[in-house]
Amino acid sequence: MHAAARRLLPISLCLCLVIAAAPPQQVTEVDRLLASMTPAQRVGQLFMVSVWGPELPINGQRFIQQTAPGGVVLFESNTGSPASLARFTNALQEAAAGGGLPPLFIAVDHEGGLIQRLKDDNGFTVFPVGQLVTATGDPADAAAVGRAMAEELLAVGINMNLAPVADLETNRENPVVARRAYGSDPDMVGRTIAAFIEGAQEARLLAVAKHFPGHGATTQDSHTGLPVLDHDAARLRAVEMVPFQYAADAGVAAIMAAHIWFPNLEPEEGRPASLSYPVLTGLLREAMGYQGLIMTDALDMNAIDRRFFYGEAARLAVQAGVDLIAFGGQVSLEDQQAAIAEVIQAVEDGAIPQARIDESARRILETKARFGLLRWSPVDPDTAAARMNVAAHQRLVADLFPRALTLVKDDGAHLPPRPGAHEPARVPDVVRRHRHRLPPPDARAAARRHPLRAGRGRPRACGRCGALRRDHRRAHQ
Protein backbone atom coordinates (compact mmCIF):
# COMPACT_ATOMS: atom_id res chain seq x y z
CA MET A 1 0.00 0.00 0.00
CA HIS A 2 1.29 3.48 -0.83
CA ALA A 3 2.58 5.41 2.18
CA ALA A 4 0.13 8.29 1.65
CA ALA A 5 -2.75 5.82 1.49
CA ARG A 6 -1.63 4.22 4.76
CA ARG A 7 -1.66 7.65 6.44
CA LEU A 8 -5.19 8.40 5.21
CA LEU A 9 -6.63 5.03 6.28
CA PRO A 10 -6.98 5.82 10.03
CA ILE A 11 -8.62 9.16 9.20
CA SER A 12 -11.09 7.44 6.86
CA LEU A 13 -11.89 4.86 9.52
CA CYS A 14 -12.47 7.61 12.11
CA LEU A 15 -14.81 9.47 9.74
CA CYS A 16 -16.74 6.26 9.12
CA LEU A 17 -17.08 5.68 12.85
CA VAL A 18 -18.29 9.27 13.45
CA ILE A 19 -20.85 9.02 10.64
CA ALA A 20 -22.03 5.62 11.86
CA ALA A 21 -22.33 6.91 15.43
CA ALA A 22 -24.41 9.99 14.46
CA PRO A 23 -28.09 9.35 15.27
CA PRO A 24 -30.46 9.41 12.32
CA GLN A 25 -32.43 12.66 11.98
CA GLN A 26 -35.79 12.19 13.67
CA VAL A 27 -38.77 12.47 11.37
CA THR A 28 -41.44 14.51 13.15
CA GLU A 29 -45.18 14.39 12.76
CA VAL A 30 -44.96 17.73 10.98
CA ASP A 31 -42.44 16.25 8.52
CA ARG A 32 -44.81 13.36 7.77
CA LEU A 33 -47.81 15.63 7.35
CA LEU A 34 -45.97 18.00 5.06
CA ALA A 35 -44.64 15.14 2.95
CA SER A 36 -48.14 13.69 2.58
CA MET A 37 -49.65 16.94 1.24
CA THR A 38 -49.77 17.92 -2.40
CA PRO A 39 -48.31 21.30 -3.47
CA ALA A 40 -51.87 22.66 -3.81
CA GLN A 41 -52.79 21.50 -0.30
CA ARG A 42 -49.69 23.19 1.09
CA VAL A 43 -50.83 26.44 -0.51
CA GLY A 44 -54.28 25.93 1.00
CA GLN A 45 -52.79 25.81 4.50
CA LEU A 46 -51.88 29.49 4.11
CA PHE A 47 -55.53 30.57 4.00
CA MET A 48 -58.02 31.39 6.75
CA VAL A 49 -61.37 31.09 4.96
CA SER A 50 -64.94 31.91 5.92
CA VAL A 51 -68.26 30.18 5.34
CA TRP A 52 -71.71 31.67 5.74
CA GLY A 53 -74.32 30.55 8.24
CA PRO A 54 -74.66 28.59 11.49
CA GLU A 55 -74.53 25.19 9.75
CA LEU A 56 -72.04 23.77 7.28
CA PRO A 57 -73.77 22.92 3.97
CA ILE A 58 -72.58 20.27 1.52
CA ASN A 59 -70.89 22.85 -0.70
CA GLY A 60 -69.07 24.17 2.37
CA GLN A 61 -67.77 20.69 3.14
CA ARG A 62 -66.59 20.27 -0.45
CA PHE A 63 -64.97 23.70 -0.36
CA ILE A 64 -62.88 22.80 2.70
CA GLN A 65 -61.86 19.44 1.27
CA GLN A 66 -60.94 20.91 -2.12
CA THR A 67 -59.01 23.95 -0.88
CA ALA A 68 -57.36 22.45 2.26
CA PRO A 69 -57.38 25.71 4.26
CA GLY A 70 -55.29 26.14 7.36
CA GLY A 71 -58.24 27.58 9.25
CA VAL A 72 -61.68 29.15 9.31
CA VAL A 73 -62.64 32.56 10.74
CA LEU A 74 -66.09 32.77 12.33
CA PHE A 75 -68.36 35.78 11.98
CA GLU A 76 -71.76 36.77 13.32
CA SER A 77 -73.61 34.64 10.78
CA ASN A 78 -71.95 31.57 12.30
CA THR A 79 -72.80 32.32 15.92
CA GLY A 80 -75.54 30.90 18.10
CA SER A 81 -75.92 29.08 21.37
CA PRO A 82 -72.92 27.22 22.81
CA ALA A 83 -74.44 23.92 21.69
CA SER A 84 -75.07 25.05 18.11
CA LEU A 85 -71.64 26.63 17.87
CA ALA A 86 -70.02 23.43 19.13
CA ARG A 87 -71.89 21.44 16.47
CA PHE A 88 -70.72 23.90 13.81
CA THR A 89 -67.03 23.75 14.78
CA ASN A 90 -67.25 19.96 14.96
CA ALA A 91 -68.66 19.93 11.43
CA LEU A 92 -65.79 22.10 10.18
CA GLN A 93 -63.17 19.82 11.70
CA GLU A 94 -64.96 16.69 10.45
CA ALA A 95 -64.95 18.11 6.92
CA ALA A 96 -61.18 18.61 7.13
CA ALA A 97 -60.65 15.13 8.56
CA GLY A 98 -62.88 13.66 5.83
CA GLY A 99 -60.53 15.10 3.24
CA GLY A 100 -57.45 13.68 4.97
CA LEU A 101 -56.35 17.18 6.01
CA PRO A 102 -54.78 18.50 9.22
CA PRO A 103 -57.17 19.94 11.83
CA LEU A 104 -58.15 23.56 11.36
CA PHE A 105 -57.45 26.74 13.21
CA ILE A 106 -60.92 28.02 14.12
CA ALA A 107 -60.73 31.73 14.93
CA VAL A 108 -63.02 34.52 16.09
CA ASP A 109 -62.73 38.21 17.01
CA HIS A 110 -63.29 38.14 20.77
CA GLU A 111 -61.51 41.22 22.07
CA GLY A 112 -64.03 42.23 24.72
CA GLY A 113 -65.92 45.51 24.70
CA LEU A 114 -67.21 46.60 21.30
CA ILE A 115 -65.70 43.75 19.27
CA GLN A 116 -66.96 40.47 20.59
CA ARG A 117 -68.68 38.11 18.15
CA LEU A 118 -70.06 35.80 20.83
CA LYS A 119 -72.72 37.70 22.74
CA ASP A 120 -74.36 37.45 26.13
CA ASP A 121 -77.77 36.75 24.60
CA ASN A 122 -76.26 33.48 23.39
CA GLY A 123 -74.90 32.64 26.82
CA PHE A 124 -71.35 34.08 26.67
CA THR A 125 -69.71 36.45 29.12
CA VAL A 126 -69.49 40.10 28.09
CA PHE A 127 -65.85 40.98 28.70
CA PRO A 128 -64.84 44.62 29.24
CA VAL A 129 -62.83 46.88 26.98
CA GLY A 130 -59.07 46.52 27.17
CA GLN A 131 -58.55 49.92 28.82
CA LEU A 132 -60.50 48.79 31.85
CA VAL A 133 -58.25 45.75 32.22
CA THR A 134 -55.15 47.97 31.98
CA ALA A 135 -56.60 50.43 34.49
CA THR A 136 -56.53 47.91 37.35
CA GLY A 137 -52.74 48.21 37.22
CA ASP A 138 -52.28 44.48 37.72
CA PRO A 139 -51.24 42.35 34.71
CA ALA A 140 -52.58 39.32 36.59
CA ASP A 141 -56.06 40.63 35.78
CA ALA A 142 -55.26 40.55 32.07
CA ALA A 143 -53.99 36.98 32.42
CA ALA A 144 -57.22 36.03 34.21
CA VAL A 145 -59.30 37.55 31.39
CA GLY A 146 -57.22 35.67 28.82
CA ARG A 147 -57.80 32.38 30.66
CA ALA A 148 -61.52 33.07 31.04
CA MET A 149 -61.92 33.80 27.33
CA ALA A 150 -59.97 30.64 26.54
CA GLU A 151 -62.25 28.54 28.70
CA GLU A 152 -65.37 29.79 26.90
CA LEU A 153 -63.97 29.61 23.36
CA LEU A 154 -62.35 26.19 23.74
CA ALA A 155 -65.59 24.80 25.18
CA VAL A 156 -67.30 25.41 21.83
CA GLY A 157 -64.38 24.29 19.64
CA ILE A 158 -62.74 27.66 18.89
CA ASN A 159 -58.96 27.45 19.26
CA MET A 160 -57.76 30.91 18.11
CA ASN A 161 -58.72 34.35 19.38
CA LEU A 162 -58.01 37.31 17.09
CA ALA A 163 -56.99 39.36 20.13
CA PRO A 164 -55.49 41.28 21.87
CA VAL A 165 -55.38 44.67 20.16
CA ALA A 166 -51.76 45.84 20.52
CA ASP A 167 -52.42 49.25 18.94
CA LEU A 168 -52.00 52.33 21.12
CA GLU A 169 -54.56 55.07 21.62
CA THR A 170 -52.27 57.82 20.37
CA ASN A 171 -54.93 59.65 18.35
CA ARG A 172 -58.28 60.39 19.96
CA GLU A 173 -59.75 61.04 16.52
CA ASN A 174 -59.00 57.48 15.38
CA PRO A 175 -62.36 56.05 14.24
CA VAL A 176 -61.61 52.36 14.78
CA VAL A 177 -58.90 51.78 17.41
CA ALA A 178 -59.53 54.43 20.07
CA ARG A 179 -62.38 52.39 21.55
CA ARG A 180 -60.48 49.09 21.40
CA ALA A 181 -56.92 49.87 22.51
CA TYR A 182 -55.60 48.87 25.95
CA GLY A 183 -54.21 52.38 26.47
CA SER A 184 -51.69 54.94 25.24
CA ASP A 185 -48.56 54.11 27.27
CA PRO A 186 -46.42 51.64 25.26
CA ASP A 187 -44.90 49.78 28.21
CA MET A 188 -48.08 49.66 30.25
CA VAL A 189 -50.03 48.30 27.28
CA GLY A 190 -47.19 45.92 26.46
CA ARG A 191 -47.16 44.40 29.95
CA THR A 192 -50.94 44.07 29.95
CA ILE A 193 -51.28 42.35 26.60
CA ALA A 194 -48.30 40.09 27.32
CA ALA A 195 -50.11 38.86 30.43
CA PHE A 196 -53.33 38.39 28.44
CA ILE A 197 -51.44 36.34 25.84
CA GLU A 198 -49.77 34.18 28.49
CA GLY A 199 -53.10 33.53 30.24
CA ALA A 200 -54.86 32.55 27.03
CA GLN A 201 -52.06 30.44 25.62
CA GLU A 202 -51.39 28.58 28.88
CA ALA A 203 -54.95 27.32 28.40
CA ARG A 204 -53.99 26.37 24.79
CA LEU A 205 -55.96 29.09 23.03
CA LEU A 206 -53.88 30.82 20.34
CA ALA A 207 -53.67 34.59 20.71
CA VAL A 208 -53.16 37.06 17.84
CA ALA A 209 -51.69 40.53 18.46
CA LYS A 210 -52.95 43.14 16.00
CA HIS A 211 -52.51 45.37 13.88
CA PHE A 212 -48.76 45.55 13.18
CA PRO A 213 -46.93 47.90 13.10
CA GLY A 214 -49.68 49.99 14.71
CA HIS A 215 -53.11 51.38 13.76
CA GLY A 216 -53.63 53.78 16.66
CA ALA A 217 -52.25 56.98 15.11
CA THR A 218 -54.33 56.88 11.93
CA THR A 219 -57.32 59.10 11.20
CA GLN A 220 -58.98 56.65 8.81
CA ASP A 221 -60.54 53.24 9.31
CA SER A 222 -58.95 50.56 7.10
CA HIS A 223 -62.39 48.97 6.75
CA THR A 224 -63.43 51.96 4.63
CA GLY A 225 -60.21 53.04 2.90
CA LEU A 226 -56.42 52.90 2.97
CA PRO A 227 -54.94 54.89 5.87
CA VAL A 228 -51.53 56.48 5.34
CA LEU A 229 -49.15 57.02 8.25
CA ASP A 230 -45.90 58.97 7.83
CA HIS A 231 -44.13 57.73 10.96
CA ASP A 232 -40.58 56.56 10.33
CA ALA A 233 -38.99 53.39 11.68
CA ALA A 234 -37.41 55.18 14.66
CA ARG A 235 -40.77 56.55 15.84
CA LEU A 236 -42.49 53.20 15.29
CA ARG A 237 -39.81 51.30 17.23
CA ALA A 238 -39.99 53.78 20.11
CA VAL A 239 -43.79 53.90 20.39
CA GLU A 240 -46.16 51.84 18.22
CA MET A 241 -44.06 48.67 17.98
CA VAL A 242 -43.30 48.40 21.70
CA PRO A 243 -46.45 46.41 22.60
CA PHE A 244 -45.80 44.08 19.65
CA GLN A 245 -42.31 43.38 20.99
CA TYR A 246 -43.85 42.50 24.36
CA ALA A 247 -46.27 40.19 22.53
CA ALA A 248 -43.47 38.55 20.57
CA ASP A 249 -41.42 38.06 23.73
CA ALA A 250 -44.47 36.45 25.36
CA GLY A 251 -44.56 33.88 22.53
CA VAL A 252 -47.73 35.11 20.88
CA ALA A 253 -48.89 32.55 18.30
CA ALA A 254 -49.55 35.10 15.56
CA ILE A 255 -49.24 38.79 14.73
CA MET A 256 -51.77 40.35 12.37
CA ALA A 257 -50.56 42.98 9.90
CA ALA A 258 -52.42 46.23 9.31
CA HIS A 259 -53.84 47.40 5.99
CA ILE A 260 -52.00 50.74 6.31
CA TRP A 261 -49.45 52.28 3.97
CA PHE A 262 -46.28 53.51 5.72
CA PRO A 263 -44.42 55.54 3.05
CA ASN A 264 -41.24 55.69 5.15
CA LEU A 265 -41.11 51.89 5.30
CA GLU A 266 -42.63 50.77 1.99
CA PRO A 267 -41.52 52.70 -1.11
CA GLU A 268 -44.29 51.47 -3.44
CA GLU A 269 -47.20 53.88 -3.29
CA GLY A 270 -50.35 52.40 -1.81
CA ARG A 271 -48.75 49.10 -0.75
CA PRO A 272 -50.11 48.39 2.77
CA ALA A 273 -48.03 46.84 5.54
CA SER A 274 -49.99 43.60 5.16
CA LEU A 275 -48.51 43.16 1.66
CA SER A 276 -45.10 44.73 2.28
CA TYR A 277 -41.85 42.74 2.30
CA PRO A 278 -39.86 45.53 4.04
CA VAL A 279 -42.45 45.71 6.85
CA LEU A 280 -43.21 42.03 7.39
CA THR A 281 -39.97 40.27 6.52
CA GLY A 282 -37.51 43.14 6.99
CA LEU A 283 -38.97 44.69 10.14
CA LEU A 284 -41.09 42.08 11.91
CA ARG A 285 -39.32 38.86 10.99
CA GLU A 286 -35.68 40.00 10.74
CA ALA A 287 -35.29 43.17 12.83
CA MET A 288 -37.60 42.08 15.66
CA GLY A 289 -36.73 38.40 15.37
CA TYR A 290 -40.35 37.25 15.47
CA GLN A 291 -40.65 33.55 14.61
CA GLY A 292 -44.41 33.01 15.00
CA LEU A 293 -47.16 33.25 12.40
CA ILE A 294 -47.69 36.44 10.42
CA MET A 295 -51.24 36.91 9.16
CA THR A 296 -53.18 39.54 7.27
CA ASP A 297 -56.27 41.37 8.34
CA ALA A 298 -59.29 40.45 6.20
CA LEU A 299 -58.78 40.91 2.46
CA ASP A 300 -62.33 42.18 1.88
CA MET A 301 -61.68 45.38 3.82
CA ASN A 302 -61.80 48.42 1.56
CA ALA A 303 -58.13 49.26 2.13
CA ILE A 304 -57.42 46.12 0.07
CA ASP A 305 -60.37 45.28 -2.16
CA ARG A 306 -60.63 48.78 -3.66
CA ARG A 307 -57.05 48.47 -4.89
CA PHE A 308 -56.39 44.77 -5.48
CA PHE A 309 -58.21 41.67 -6.62
CA TYR A 310 -58.30 38.99 -3.93
CA GLY A 311 -55.95 36.67 -5.80
CA GLU A 312 -53.50 39.49 -6.48
CA ALA A 313 -53.52 40.55 -2.83
CA ALA A 314 -53.02 36.94 -1.69
CA ARG A 315 -50.04 36.51 -4.03
CA LEU A 316 -48.45 39.76 -2.83
CA ALA A 317 -49.01 38.74 0.79
CA VAL A 318 -47.19 35.44 0.30
CA GLN A 319 -44.32 37.20 -1.44
CA ALA A 320 -44.13 39.68 1.45
CA GLY A 321 -43.71 36.87 3.99
CA VAL A 322 -47.25 36.29 5.25
CA ASP A 323 -48.10 32.84 6.64
CA LEU A 324 -51.88 33.17 6.97
CA ILE A 325 -54.16 35.11 4.60
CA ALA A 326 -57.56 35.93 6.11
CA PHE A 327 -60.88 36.36 4.33
CA GLY A 328 -63.77 38.26 5.86
CA GLY A 329 -67.32 37.07 6.15
CA GLN A 330 -68.54 38.72 2.94
CA VAL A 331 -66.40 36.84 0.42
CA SER A 332 -68.11 34.03 -1.51
CA LEU A 333 -66.72 30.51 -1.55
CA GLU A 334 -66.13 30.90 -5.29
CA ASP A 335 -64.05 34.07 -4.85
CA GLN A 336 -62.03 32.51 -2.06
CA GLN A 337 -61.37 29.40 -4.13
CA ALA A 338 -60.31 31.55 -7.09
CA ALA A 339 -57.83 33.47 -4.95
CA ILE A 340 -56.30 30.25 -3.63
CA ALA A 341 -56.09 28.95 -7.22
CA GLU A 342 -54.25 32.12 -8.28
CA VAL A 343 -51.55 31.50 -5.65
CA ILE A 344 -51.27 27.87 -6.76
CA GLN A 345 -50.80 29.09 -10.33
CA ALA A 346 -48.13 31.56 -9.20
CA VAL A 347 -46.21 28.68 -7.63
CA GLU A 348 -46.52 26.59 -10.77
CA ASP A 349 -45.32 29.54 -12.89
CA GLY A 350 -42.34 30.12 -10.61
CA ALA A 351 -43.48 33.56 -9.41
CA ILE A 352 -43.58 32.12 -5.88
CA PRO A 353 -40.96 29.47 -5.01
CA GLN A 354 -42.29 26.21 -3.64
CA ALA A 355 -39.81 26.64 -0.78
CA ARG A 356 -41.60 29.84 0.23
CA ILE A 357 -44.90 27.95 0.48
CA ASP A 358 -43.27 25.09 2.38
CA GLU A 359 -41.75 27.53 4.86
CA SER A 360 -45.16 28.91 5.85
CA ALA A 361 -46.93 25.54 5.69
CA ARG A 362 -44.33 24.08 8.06
CA ARG A 363 -44.65 27.03 10.44
CA ILE A 364 -48.44 26.58 10.46
CA LEU A 365 -48.22 22.85 11.18
CA GLU A 366 -45.60 23.38 13.87
CA THR A 367 -47.86 25.92 15.55
CA LYS A 368 -50.75 23.46 15.45
CA ALA A 369 -48.46 20.84 17.00
CA ARG A 370 -47.31 23.31 19.67
CA PHE A 371 -50.89 23.87 20.82
CA GLY A 372 -51.96 20.24 20.56
CA LEU A 373 -54.26 20.83 17.59
CA LEU A 374 -53.01 17.95 15.45
CA ARG A 375 -54.85 15.55 17.78
CA TRP A 376 -58.40 16.82 17.33
CA SER A 377 -61.39 15.35 19.12
CA PRO A 378 -64.95 16.71 18.95
CA VAL A 379 -66.38 18.90 21.70
CA ASP A 380 -69.61 17.81 23.35
CA PRO A 381 -72.42 20.21 22.39
CA ASP A 382 -74.61 19.10 25.31
CA THR A 383 -72.08 20.10 27.94
CA ALA A 384 -70.56 23.11 26.17
CA ALA A 385 -72.49 25.73 28.17
CA ALA A 386 -71.59 24.14 31.50
CA ARG A 387 -67.92 23.84 30.57
CA MET A 388 -67.77 27.54 29.66
CA ASN A 389 -67.99 28.39 33.39
CA VAL A 390 -69.77 31.68 32.69
CA ALA A 391 -70.86 32.37 36.28
CA ALA A 392 -67.24 32.46 37.46
CA HIS A 393 -66.25 34.73 34.59
CA GLN A 394 -69.08 37.14 35.33
CA ARG A 395 -67.79 37.41 38.91
CA LEU A 396 -64.31 38.06 37.53
CA VAL A 397 -65.61 40.88 35.34
CA ALA A 398 -67.68 42.39 38.17
CA ASP A 399 -64.57 42.44 40.36
CA LEU A 400 -62.55 44.29 37.70
CA PHE A 401 -64.75 47.39 37.63
CA PRO A 402 -64.18 48.79 41.14
CA ARG A 403 -60.46 48.05 40.94
CA ALA A 404 -60.22 49.82 37.59
CA LEU A 405 -61.73 53.02 38.99
CA THR A 406 -59.16 55.73 38.27
CA LEU A 407 -58.97 59.19 39.84
CA VAL A 408 -58.31 61.64 37.02
CA LYS A 409 -58.48 64.95 38.90
CA ASP A 410 -59.21 66.02 42.49
CA ASP A 411 -57.90 69.55 42.99
CA GLY A 412 -60.03 70.01 46.11
CA ALA A 413 -58.72 66.84 47.77
CA HIS A 414 -62.26 65.52 48.33
CA LEU A 415 -61.22 61.89 47.75
CA PRO A 416 -60.96 59.67 49.62
CA PRO A 417 -63.64 61.09 51.96
CA ARG A 418 -62.28 62.09 55.37
CA PRO A 419 -63.75 60.32 58.43
CA GLY A 420 -66.54 62.40 59.95
CA ALA A 421 -66.85 64.68 56.96
CA HIS A 422 -70.48 65.15 55.96
CA GLU A 423 -70.15 67.69 53.20
CA PRO A 424 -73.34 68.07 51.19
CA ALA A 425 -73.15 66.89 47.64
CA ARG A 426 -71.77 69.64 45.45
CA VAL A 427 -73.72 70.71 42.41
CA PRO A 428 -71.29 70.63 39.47
CA ASP A 429 -70.40 74.05 38.06
CA VAL A 430 -71.72 73.02 34.66
CA VAL A 431 -75.17 72.47 36.21
CA ARG A 432 -75.09 75.79 38.10
CA ARG A 433 -74.13 77.66 34.95
CA HIS A 434 -77.10 76.28 33.08
CA ARG A 435 -79.79 76.60 35.75
CA HIS A 436 -80.97 79.91 34.25
CA ARG A 437 -81.71 78.06 31.02
CA LEU A 438 -84.53 75.99 32.47
CA PRO A 439 -87.63 77.08 30.50
CA PRO A 440 -90.15 79.25 32.36
CA PRO A 441 -93.81 78.25 32.30
CA ASP A 442 -94.69 80.70 29.57
CA ALA A 443 -94.20 78.78 26.34
CA ARG A 444 -93.93 81.96 24.24
CA ALA A 445 -91.18 83.33 26.52
CA ALA A 446 -89.42 79.98 26.44
CA ALA A 447 -89.48 80.03 22.66
CA ARG A 448 -87.90 83.48 22.57
CA ARG A 449 -85.15 82.65 25.07
CA HIS A 450 -84.51 79.10 23.88
CA PRO A 451 -85.31 78.91 20.16
CA LEU A 452 -84.34 75.21 19.93
CA ARG A 453 -86.00 74.10 23.16
CA ALA A 454 -89.64 73.21 23.74
CA GLY A 455 -91.20 71.10 26.45
CA ARG A 456 -93.79 68.40 26.02
CA GLY A 457 -97.01 69.89 24.74
CA ARG A 458 -95.39 73.21 23.93
CA PRO A 459 -95.17 74.51 20.36
CA ARG A 460 -91.74 74.21 18.73
CA ALA A 461 -89.82 77.42 17.97
CA CYS A 462 -87.92 78.46 14.86
CA GLY A 463 -84.15 78.27 15.25
CA ARG A 464 -83.64 81.43 13.16
CA CYS A 465 -86.09 83.91 14.62
CA GLY A 466 -87.54 82.38 17.75
CA ALA A 467 -91.11 82.56 16.46
CA LEU A 468 -93.38 79.68 17.30
CA ARG A 469 -93.87 77.18 14.51
CA ARG A 470 -97.54 78.11 14.10
CA ASP A 471 -96.42 81.73 13.47
CA HIS A 472 -93.45 80.71 11.33
CA ARG A 473 -94.76 81.66 7.89
CA ARG A 474 -96.01 85.04 9.08
CA ALA A 475 -92.66 85.77 10.73
CA HIS A 476 -90.74 85.17 7.49
CA GLN A 477 -93.11 86.88 5.05
pLDDT of 354-383, one tens digit each?
999 999 999 999 999 999 999 999 999 999
pTM of the model: 0.82
Instruction: Choose the weakest-confidence range: 3-12, 24-33, 36-45, 190-199.
Output: 3-12
pLDDT of 397-438, one tens digit each?
999 999 998 888 888 887 777 766 555 444 344 333 333 333
- b/e code 426-465 from CB counts within 10 Å (16+ = b): eeeeeeeeeeeeeeeeebeebbeebbeebeeebeebbeee
Three-state secondary-structure class, residue 218 = coil
- Which domains are delineated in the chain? 30-404 (3.20.20.300), 430-475 (no CATH)
pLDDT of 428-450, one tens digit each?
443 333 333 334 444 444 444 44
- Res 11 pLDDT > 60: no
User: 214: pLDDT confidence band, cut at 50, 70 and 90?
Assistant: very high
- Res 23 pLDDT > 70: no
- Res 19 pLDDT > 70: no
Catalytic residue positions?
297
pLDDT at residue 420 in the model: 64
pLDDT of 242-258, one tens digit each?
999 999 999 999 999 99
Q: Cα dist. 218→76, 108, 214, 272, 450 in Å?
A: 27, 24, 9, 13, 39
Hey, which residues does 293 pair with through a beta bridge? 254
- Res 97 pLDDT > 70: yes
Average per-residue pLDDT for the chain: 87
- Res 211 pLDDT > 80: yes
pLDDT at residue 444 in the model: 43
pLDDT of 127-143, one tens digit each?
999 999 999 999 999 99
